[in-house]
Amino acid sequence: MATIDQSAATNSIEQATIRKISRRFMPVIILAYFVAYIDRVNIGMMKPELSADIGLTDITFGLASGLIFIGLIFFEIPSNSLAWRFGARRWIVRVMLSWGVVVIAGSLIQTPGQLYLMRIMLGLAEAGMAPAVFLFLAQWFPGRHRARALSAFYLSVPIALACGSPLTGWLLEIMHGTVGIAGWRWVLVIEGVAAIAIAPVVLRRLSDRPSAANWLTQPERDWLESALASEDTHRAEHSVSSFRRSLIDKQVWLFAVTYLLLGYGTNALVYWMPSIVSAATVHAPPLQVGLISAIPFACAGVGIYLVGRIAERTRARLWNMLAPVLLSVLGFGAAWLLGGHRVLAIVMLCVALTGALAAQPQFWTMPTAYMRGAAAAGGIALINSVNNIGGFAGPYSFGWLKQASPSGSTSLAFLVITAAQLLAVGCILIAYRSTAGRALRASVDDGVESPVPAS
């Protein structure tokens, strides 16, 4: 009876602790990444005005869209090394202030070359944001609860894309010509200022470590520290433990290639969705294009939420990753076959993006279960850095394949994206059957994240 009572008390402490952490951290993290993603992808909504003002073709637009990833590719790893050294909380705030300044400065550009430079600088400024958030969540959420926390974080992407496109379209319409300044320049100023304004809120709401969380009770801090320490002990049996070794570990590189393939199609459509919608809705105003472009990402938000809830309640870890990816294969494949039917193709892109984006937070449960400490900082940064190669290649290759098609069709681009998703399925299966997969199963199935705290 005493054992049962103790177990019930521990479970009550666990639920209260996770609830407090989630309510304190997740809204502000979602808000911060929401602003980051809008500042990254608003170029898609600005394309018509921007192209007319400074002269861009489909290929040069695709190049400008993708150049942000140059800075992300080369600075993610050193940036996350500094995040580990100075603390993820402070580093996230530094990133927000830096990219806000760069976005505001972008309102002054006059030529394609200046746009290219601004996009590269934006990538340098924003580098380390996502890896620092992954590192922060791994330091606060034990394995059983991490899938849902990651899903909540990833909700900021479809929220930004679902709300950001109409918001940017609305700003383009109401601000166009105000005091003689083009609407797209106002968009950059307003959205850059938002990043700077939110940074102090992030600094106040996030905490460096559980032991310093005076907003938790002592039993809650004891449970959390015990849970995370127990998980680290089990993880040590399966993983590397140093920053440098994580950069050459074959399991980490397998994760990196998998994540690149998973994100390739999404990265392309983040920038090209408004253009696809414009082609299907001729003469539609910017706000209408933004609203329609938001629909696939709104569907993806629902998918992320539902898969996150399912993942928290079940132990079908492999299928929580595979099922969404297979759904994306179905959607992208149908969009390829229905390339001549633009409206139906957009419907299938709703299916494709729902699966592609819902799979990504579930994928991250494997790397965060496999790595710990400084190795987590290095490995997470490496995975994100390699993924950013796909971030550059996605929008650029989509524009190149579209322009190379005789009729300007998107069918060939969707064929390539479908192939990438199929390769991702194979990589997930290999990873799950590896040492990393065993680490994931140990961190969740053995219950190491819910030890009874010492009395």
Q: What is the separation of C-alpha 126 from the centre of its chain, rounded to a whole number of angstroms?
A: 13
**Alpha carbons within 13 A on the beta-carbon side of 173:** 13
In this predicted structure, the answer to whether residue 6 has a pLDDT above a threshold of 60 is no
353: left (phi over 0), alpha (psi -120 to 50) or beta: alpha
What one-character-per-residue DSSP string does 99-118 give? HHHHHHHHTT--SHHHHHHH
Lowest mean pLDDT among 13-27, 105-119, 196-210, 340-354: 340-354
The DSSP 8-state label assigned to residue 141 in this structure reads S
Q: Which two tokens stand for residue 149?
A: 């926390």
Residue 246's Cβ-side half-sphere holds a number of Cα atoms within 13 Å equal to 28
Beta-carbon contacts of residue 290 (< 8 Å; ≥ 6 apart)? 45, 165, 166, 167, 168, 169, 170, 274
Angstrom distance (rounded) from CA 166 to CA 66: 22
Average pLDDT of the residues in 298-303: 88
8 Å CB contact between 348 and 32:
no
pLDDT at 25 over 80: yes
Look at residue 446 in the predicted model and tell me its pLDDT. Answer: 44
> Residue 290: pLDDT above 80?
no
pTM check: above 0.85: no
Cα angle for residues 75, 78, 84 (degrees, 5° grid): 130
- CB atoms < 10 A from the CB of 2, how many? 6
Q: Which of 70-84, 263-277, 428-442 has the lowest mean pLDDT?
A: 428-442
Tell me which of 214-218, 239-243, 358-362 is least confident.
239-243
Give Cβ neighbours of residue 342 (< 8 Å, ≥ 6 apart).
276, 279, 280
Most confident of 162-166, 291-295, 431-435: 291-295
> Does 199 have pLDDT greater than 80?
yes
Give burial (CB, 10 Å; 0-12/13-18/19+) of 205: middle
| Mean pLDDT on 194-221 | 89
Kind and range of the H or E element at 380? helix 373-404
Q: Which two tokens stand for residue 259?
A: 């994540």
Q: Which residue has the tokens 């010509």?
A: 177
State whether the Cα torsion 60-66-68-69 is positive or negative.
Answer: negative
The mean predicted confidence, pLDDT, of the chain is 82
pLDDT, residue 370, reads 81
Q: Which of 201, 427, 193, 162 is nearest to 296 (CA)?
A: 162
Q: Residue with structure tokens 């997470």?
A: 380
Give the residue ranges of DSSP H helices in 206-316.
218-235, 243-246, 250-280, 286-313
- Residues 308-367: tens digit of each pLDDT: 888 777 767 788 889 999 999 999 998 888 766 777 878 888 999 999 999 988 898 888
For residues 290-295, give the mean pLDDT: 81
Q: How far apart are alpha carbons 323 and 46 in whole angstroms?
A: 35
Nearest to 252 by CA among 102, 154, 378, 134: 378
- The confidence score (pLDDT) of residue 135 equals 84
Structure confidence at residue 237 as a pLDDT band (50, 70, 90): low
Q: What is the mean pLDDT of residues 2-17?
A: 71
Residue with tokens 């340098």: 124
Interval 394-450: pLDDT, tens: 877 888 888 777 776 777 888 899 999 999 999 999 988 876 556 665 555 444 333
